[in-house]
Amino acid sequence: MQPEVEKLEPRLKEILYGCMETIRATKAALYLLDSDGSYSLLTHYGFQDSLRKSILPADPLPDRLIMRRAPFFVNGLNEEPRFSEILYAAGTDRLLAAPIYSRGRLAGFIDLRDKPGRQPFDVKDIEESQKLVEQYLDLFAKNQLYGQQSIQVAHSADKAAEIQAANIAKMVELARTVVGRQLTSESRRTPTLTEAEMASVALILPTMLMLPGAVVAAFSSFGQLSGGQMIASRAPMTQEAVDQFRGKLSGWTRKRGDSDAISRSSLQLPFGEAAAPISPERIQTVLSAPVTAGGVAGLVLSVGFERNPDAEARTLLEFFLRQIQQTVEHALSHHATKLVDQKIAEKLIEPDFQKYPHLLNHSRRVSSMADQLAHYLGLGPAECETIRIAGLVHDVGMRLLDYHAIYRKKEITDAEMLMVQEHPLVGAALVVDSGLGEEVAYIVLCHHERVDGKGYPNGLVTDQIPIGARILHICEAFDAMTASDSYQVPLPENEAIERILRGGGAQFDAQIAQKFHEMLRHAVQV
């Protein structure tokens, strides 16, 4: 661990003891990122010898925090199987973990266990844990650790420098709090799965028919998940068999006090329709279990057997249940990350952008256009989403400049041009501190680079410029030339395209410019 971090141990421990006062956790530990990529124990209270000194990123605890970027709690050994061993090894049965994110990466986390009187952790505890995380981030900023540091932007315009110094400090602080606020409010609501995500989870159903004696398997959703059921069976089922299977499932859900309404269903026949139909007599036993991953409520796995399943079949069934839980976990992780990123991006461009609706509209148009072009180029879904978010926030640095004084000016001074050329630097700093991550920030930093090396702020050339930035540069130029609310007299679209094509190989990536032309021409033809 860095000596600079170890020197802070008394203050780190003092903050951690706040868990005892505000959350009433009887045990707490602080882990921070070490130089070897693992998370090392810095300080703790209440734990005995079972506390781990070092944890790898692939461990279930940091893995969950890296995937979801949100605090979470587990109230019981059997609530989420992947954490059962961690809880058991420490002699605890309740866990709350809060991530400490700095510049888009997990710099550490707080690991809390148990409360007096076996009380469960709840949403209020998550809010309190986030306040402690903010204290750690403030401490890191004062000591310039884990990328937390003041941002200094220098140029020759005294007035603009004063505006930037004040506004940057204000906006970086806002950007930090956005993540905490969103993760402790919007994203803590009960997670749900889309129909497409549920269908992907249900792909494992045919595999469960390989269990000894299994004739039918189903993945059912209730309550907020809209009452859908996906069934896979070894052969066509008679209506009586379907009714019996659902009846056994309904009895199980009613005992738990849950809803049992099924509004729609689908049937898979992975082995074809040649076998004799399954009658009610063939379904002797139905085993059901809730899918508890990620805090989802209302998902149930059910398997019908011809005979009472033996120990081997039950062991395999538990294995398949864990596989489904992991699939749900990954689906929710992708959905939650995308949702939080969108909300953070929206916060970065509001409310100040409301003063300049043309800048707000420009950002939204560029984001949409860049997303379309990225898909047209055949980039993967994750990369397209990164580019879309980068398009939305690419001009956030403009809000910290003396923007109202230079907008629509026919000529600007050298000092004002220097300010304009700093907006990718300022924007990238804001984006990194917001939690959107280094990949989005790097695209924002480079979106005014030119392939001939004459762009700013770093004079990068060709493939040194990330493809997302090359895409944004073309989309932004096209929108600036054609939009009715632009700072210049709008051009016809065909003339704007011609200018972009002529700039291929100099200002713009020639191949992407050509693909952009093809995309727009195809859209017109359609």
Tens of pLDDT, residues 128-140: 998 898 899 888 8
Tell me the Cα Rg of the chain.
28
Q: Per-residue pLDDT tens for 376-390?
A: 998 877 788 889 989
Q: Tell me the three state secondary structure of residue 359.
A: helix
Tell me the angle at which helices 311-348 and 158-184 cross, rounded to the nearest 10 degrees.
Answer: 150
The angle subtended at Cα 153 by Cα 149 and Cα 158, nearest 5°, is 135
Q: Which string of DSSP letters, residue by residue, matches 173-229? A: HHHHHHHHHHHHTGGGSPP---HHHHHHHGGGHHHHTTSTTEEEEEEEE-GGG-SEE
Distance, CA of 286 to CA of 252 (rounded, Å)? 10
First and final CA of the chain: distance in angstroms? 59
Q: Which amino acid makes up residue 326?
A: Q
Helix H, strand E, coil C: the string for 36-68 is CCCEEEEEEECCCCCCCCEECCCCHHHHHHHHH
Rounded-to-integer distance, Cα 72 and Cα 98, Å: 7
**Is the distance from CB of 77 to CB of 84 less than 8 angstroms?**
yes
Tell me what pLDDT residue 357 has: 67
90 within 8 A of 47, measured Cβ to Cβ:
yes
Please report, for residues 118, 196, 249, 300, the alpha-carbon distance to residue 260 in angstroms, rounded to integers and kept in the order given: 31, 22, 8, 11
The answer to whether the peptide bond before residue 3 is cis (omega within 30 degrees of 0) is no
The answer to whether 288 and 301 are in contact (CB under 8 A) is: yes
pLDDT of 525: 46
In angstroms, the CA 149 to CA 137 distance is 10
- Over residues 421-434, the pLDDT tens digits come to 777 877 787 776 66
Rounded to an integer, what distance in angstroms lies between the CA atom of residue 483 and that of residue 499? Answer: 15
**CA 329 to CA 237: how far, in whole Å?**
31
Half-sphere exposure of residue 454, counting CA atoms within 13 Å on the CB side? 6
Query: What DSSP character marks residue 452?
Result: B
Per-residue model confidence (pLDDT) at position 403: 52
The CA distance from 264 to 226, in Å, is 9
| Closest of 445, 421, 403, 396 to residue 168, by C-alpha | 396
User: pTM (2 decimals)?
Assistant: 0.42
Residues 6+ apart with CB under 8 A from 524: none
Q: Is the dihedral of CA 373, 379, 380, 382 positive or negative?
A: negative
- d(CA 193, CA 398) in angstroms, rounded, equals 37
DSSP 21: I
- Work out the number of other CB atoms within 10 angstroms of the CB of residue 133: 23
pLDDT of residue 476: 92
Give pLDDT, residue 178: 36
SS (H, E, C) 74-92: EECCCCCHHHHHHHHHCCC
pLDDT at 173: 43
Q: CB of 265 within 8 A of CB of 228? A: yes
Residues of the chain predicted below pLDDT 70? 1, 67-68, 103-104, 147-202, 222-227, 256-264, 292-298, 326-357, 399-420, 432-435, 485-488, 523-526
Burial 65-82 (b: 16+ CB within 10 A, else e): bbbbbbbbbbbebebbbb
CA 419 to chain centre: 33
Structure-block tokens of residue 51: 């506390």
